[in-house]
């Protein structure tokens, strides 16, 4: 186990988590906890483990990337103390809480797949008839090579809302505390019509290997909707709040997970 607590002590985290556990509304609790990370430095590749290196359980609150930020916030919202957070982070990050590279949740949509008791995919609920379903082979590039070595590819249906469909009605269905994933669009040049997916929705088999390219947390205020995320852009390199409509305008789609 490696622990980097950054600006906090264990006693301070105990108090923070105790106070947050008193917030009944899940979205408000996530907003409160994630707000504590504003300004924390962006840091990639903080997790330790690969097919040739034993996995080490890492708690790093001093530097986060987009996914380890939501990892930590999700584990914190389930906890009332630092010791509970430690165990919940294992359960959030690893299937069955088993600390190993093979059991790590490498993809955003692994969460509702393997942590269904605490989080669900609400993309279809929010998007309604405008949501689209595609079938992807995760972790398999078009040239047949894996993105993450040592992890077998998996075929999965992905639901997303096209950015041009994000009208006021759909945005109104989103909630503070929702986890937002920026959909990774396929490049599709089919020799034949795309297959139909279950439910009668049109879609195509995409081998680009990723479900989303970036993740963050939806924050709704009187001033608008914001994406709270760990930005890797050179002029940020930290956790920030960014106006959501402006941020997503040039993206292709949105995947939304909601804590239960």
pLDDT digits (tens, 9 = 90+) for 73-107: 999 999 999 999 999 999 999 999 999 999 999 99
pLDDT of residue 185 exceeding 70, the answer is yes
pLDDT of residue 145 exceeding 90, the answer is no
pLDDT at 43: 96
For 231-252, the pLDDT digits (tens) are 998 889 999 999 999 999 999 9
Q: What is the mean pLDDT of residues 191-218?
A: 61
User: Mean pLDDT, the chain, as a whole number?
Assistant: 91
pLDDT at 198: 35
For 18-70, the pLDDT digits (tens) are 999 999 999 999 999 999 999 999 999 999 999 999 999 999 999 999 999 99
pLDDT of residue 257 exceeding 50, the answer is yes
pLDDT at 201: 38
pLDDT band of residue 168 (cuts 50, 70, 90) is very high
pLDDT at 188: 52
pLDDT at 206: 44
What is the percent of the chain where pLDDT is above 70?
Answer: 92
Domains of the chain: 2-97 (1.10.3670.10), 118-259 (2.30.260.10)
pLDDT at 187: 59
pLDDT band of residue 144 (cuts 50, 70, 90) is confident
pTM of the shown model: 0.91
Residues 6+ apart with CB under 8 A from 139: 106, 107, 146, 147, 148, 151, 152, 153, 154, 209
Q: What is the mean pLDDT of residues 185-196?
A: 50
pLDDT at 195: 42
pLDDT at 118: 97
pLDDT of residue 199 exceeding 60, the answer is no
pLDDT of residue 228 exceeding 80, the answer is yes
pLDDT at 235: 85
Q: Which of 216, 131, 218 is nearest to 172 (CA)?
A: 218
């Amino acid at each position: 186990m490696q622990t980097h607590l950054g600006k906090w002590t264990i006693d301070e985290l105990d108090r923070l988590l105790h106070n947050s556990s008193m917030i009944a509304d899940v979205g408000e609790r996530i907003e409160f906890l994630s707000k504590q990370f504003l300004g924390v430095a962006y840091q990639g590749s903080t997790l330790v483990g690969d097919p040739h290196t034993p996995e080490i359980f890492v708690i790093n609150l001093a530097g986060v990337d987009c996914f380890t930020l939501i990892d930590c916030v999700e584990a914190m919202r389930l906890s009332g103390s630092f010791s509970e957070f430690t165990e919940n982070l294992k359960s959030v990050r690893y299937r069955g809480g088993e600390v190993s590279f093979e059991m790590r949740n490498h993809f955003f949509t692994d969460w509702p797949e393997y942590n269904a008791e605490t989080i669900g995919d609400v993309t279809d609920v929010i998007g309604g008839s405008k949501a689209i379903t595609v079938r992807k082979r995760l972790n398999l590039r078009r040239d047949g090579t894996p993105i993450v070595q040592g992890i077998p590819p998996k075929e999965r249906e992905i639901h997303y809302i096209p950015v041009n469909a994000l009208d006021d009605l759909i945005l109104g269905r989103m909630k503070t505390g929702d986890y937002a994933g920026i959909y990774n669009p396929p490049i599709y040049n089919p020799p034949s019509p795309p297959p139909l997916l279950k439910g009668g929705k049109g879609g195509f088999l995409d081998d680009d290997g990723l479900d989303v390219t970036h993740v963050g947390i939806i924050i709704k205020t009187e001033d608008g909707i914001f994406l709270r995320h760990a930005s890797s852009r050179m002029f940020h390199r930290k956790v920030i709040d960014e106006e959501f409509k402006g941020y997503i305008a040039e993206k292709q789609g949105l995947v939304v997970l909601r804590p239960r």
